[in-house]
Amino acid sequence: MKPYKTTASRIVWSSPWYRIRQDELLLPDGSSGVYNVVEKPPAVWIVPLTLAGKVVLIRNYRYTVDDWCLEIPAGSQQPQQRLAETAAQELREEIGGVARNLAYVGQFYTANGICNEISHVFLATGVTLGPPSREPTEVMETRQVSVSEALHLAATNQISDGPSALALLLCAERLRALDG
Amino acid sequence: MKPYKTTASRIVWSSPWYRIRQDELLLPDGSSGVYNVVEKPPAVWIVPLTLAGKVVLIRNYRYTVDDWCLEIPAGSQQPQQRLAETAAQELREEIGGVARNLAYVGQFYTANGICNEISHVFLATGVTLGPPSREPTEVMETRQVSVSEALHLAATNQISDGPSALALLLCAERLRALDG
């Protein structure tokens, strides 16, 4: 049950990547309020496991925080694209990866206080690596680590991109089984 | 080393909670581009462990995604506030919690593709619960679970708020040690 009533809604700012919707609300206590929602398409996060059993991480420059971050391949779903297609595309573009199998793991809200983005997690196995085809803004390099190293990095706060760390930890049981 | 050069910067939209900064960039390949950054103060996420050894979760209505989410207490740092003060305040406001000890666990970027928010994680121990004092937009109820149940919920994708799930998993080792 939705505890707020929306009394008005309009787009107050937009870009090709996301936009801001500003809603006026009637709150449960009878007062009125404003809620701004960052409207963004769903995102996919792909944990890549190579044929040799290595997890492929990306060291990625992020302009928003002016920092280099350890991450996994990720991207936003494009219109008319299925999530698995987005996952395969990002894998190919960011690390030149092709997966034998792409398994859906689960989803979480990235930042539900301000944004409606849903992050979907895929585990890509049997991955072979080729030349990537990155966009000009994508400045990154790849790094291959063992399953136990990848999970250790994520669990000990050494993967500074939150969704990447969580995606790895959500794959922990499956990765350990494959590493067996 | 920063691989982009910023050639112009302006605020294109703002609200009391966050704003959009639009930068013009010179990219590594010589082309120009635009990067919009959601500028938001740091956030704190608090994993509360009661004197009785229970983890306190919140079931929270989130307007952005029109969904009820399992979460932990969290909030944005206010001006002139230290992070530990924000953590203590959110604990008190959201669950009426007072902690004997507040330990800093680590930090991650919430959504570094679009936003500069840093999420800081605290573990609050020896927590006693009293009446909360929530804001009108905060519609939530609390739930107490064992340490193993909290970690199981987080690891098996049953905590739909990503930063809450990650914060719990980043506390896993400390929580298990306290659960002795």
Average pLDDT over residues A104-113: 98
Among the partner-chain residues B114, B160, B172, the one whose CB lies closest to the CB of A155 is B172
Residues B170/B121, Cβ–Cβ less than 8 Å: yes
A28 backbone dihedrals φ, ψ, rounded to 5°: -55, -30
Residues of A in contact with B113 (CB under 8 A): 43, 62, 64, 74
Q: Which two tokens stand for residue A52?
A: 């040799």
Q: How far is B144 from chain A (nearest CA, A)?
A: 21
ipTM of the complex: 0.96
* B1: pLDDT strictly greater than 70: no
* B106 closest CA partner among B94, B118, B95, B116: B118
For residues B172 and A151, what is the distance between their CA atoms, to the nearest angstrom?
A: 13
* A93 closest CA partner among A80, A78, A74: A74
Q: How far is A74 from chain B (nearest CA, A)?
A: 10
Among the partner-chain residues B33, B112, B139, the one whose CB lies closest to the CB of A3 is B139
Confidence of residue A29 (pLDDT cuts 50, 70, 90): confident
pLDDT tens figures, B133-154: 877 777 778 999 999 999 999 9
Q: Are residues A31 and A91 both part of a single domain?
A: no
Return the bridge partners of A76, or none.
A43
What pLDDT does residue B28 have? 82
What pLDDT does residue A95 have? 94
Q: Are residues A69 and A25 both part of a single domain?
A: no
Q: How far is A10 from chain B (nearest CA, A)?
A: 14
Residues 6 or more apart whose Cβ sits within 8 Å of residue B161: A108, A109, A112, B60, B62, B69, B70, B71
For residues A161 and B109, what is the distance between their CA atoms, to the nearest angstrom?
A: 5
pLDDT tens figures, B68-108: 999 999 999 999 999 999 999 999 999 999 999 999 999 99
Confidence of residue A27 (pLDDT cuts 50, 70, 90): confident
Domain count, chain B: 2
Query: How far is Cα of residue B81 from the mean position of the Cα atoms in its chain?
Result: 16
Confidence of residue B2 (pLDDT cuts 50, 70, 90): confident
What pLDDT does residue B131 have? 83
Q: Which two tokens stand for residue B128?
A: 């006693």
Q: Does residue B18 belong to the interface with chain A, where contact is any CB pair within 8 Å? A: yes
What pLDDT does residue A88 have? 98
Q: Which two tokens stand for residue B15?
A: 């609200």
* A1: pLDDT strictly greater than 70: no
Residues B103/B174, Cβ–Cβ less than 8 Å: yes
Q: Are residues A141 and A70 both part of a single domain?
A: yes
What pLDDT does residue B135 have? 74
**Crossing angle (nearest 10°) for helices A172-179 and A147-155:** 160
What pLDDT does residue A180 have? 72
Distances (CA, A) of B146 to A41, A148, B74, B171, B179: 35, 27, 20, 14, 9
Coil, helix or strand at residue A55 = strand
| In B12-159, alpha helices (H) | 83-95, 147-155
Provide the CATH number for the domain around residue B91: 3.90.79.10
Distances (CA, A) of A63 to A29, A176, B36, B147, B175: 41, 33, 10, 37, 34
Q: Are residues A90 and A18 both part of a single domain?
A: no
Strands (E) in chain A, as ranges, are: 5-14, 19-26, 32-39, 43-50, 54-62, 67-71, 74-76, 97-98, 101-109, 118-129, 140-146
Q: Do B111 and A112 touch (CB under 8 A)?
A: no
Q: Are residues A24 and A47 both part of a single domain?
A: no
Confidence of residue A123 (pLDDT cuts 50, 70, 90): very high
For residues B4 and B6, what is the distance between their CA atoms, to the nearest angstrom?
A: 6
Return the bridge partners of A129, or none.
A97
Residues of A in contact with B172 (CB under 8 A): 155
DSSP state for residue A118 in the 8-state scheme: E
Q: Are residues B32 and B71 both part of a single domain?
A: no
Q: Are residues A34 and A49 both part of a single domain?
A: no
Q: Does residue B117 belong to the interface with chain A, where contact is any CB pair within 8 Å? A: yes
Q: Are residues A9 and A82 both part of a single domain?
A: no
Q: Do A166 and B165 touch (CB under 8 A)?
A: yes
* A33: pLDDT strictly greater than 70: yes
Residues of B in contact with A165 (CB under 8 A): 108, 166, 170
Mean pLDDT of chain B: 95
Q: Do A109 and B20 touch (CB under 8 A)?
A: no
Q: How far is A129 from chain B (nearest CA, A)?
A: 24
A7 HSE (CA, 13 A, CB side): 9
Average pLDDT over residues B159-175: 98
pLDDT tens figures, A53-77: 999 999 999 999 999 999 999 999 9
CB contacts under 8 A, A 150-169 vs B, are: 155, 157, 159-163, 165-166, 169
Q: Are residues B21 and B52 both part of a single domain?
A: no
Average pLDDT over residues B130-134: 81
Q: Which residue has the tokens 């049997």?
A: A126
SS3 content of chain A, % helix, strand, coil (to 5): 20, 45, 30
Q: Are residues A125 and A58 both part of a single domain?
A: yes
Q: Are residues A25 and A89 both part of a single domain?
A: no
**Residue range of the domain that includes A57:** 43-179
Confidence of residue B180 (pLDDT cuts 50, 70, 90): confident
Q: Rounded to a whole number, what is the distance in angstroms from the first to the last CA of chain A?
A: 44
B15 backbone dihedrals φ, ψ, rounded to 5°: -140, 170
What pLDDT does residue B4 have? 84
Q: Are residues B78 and B163 both part of a single domain?
A: yes
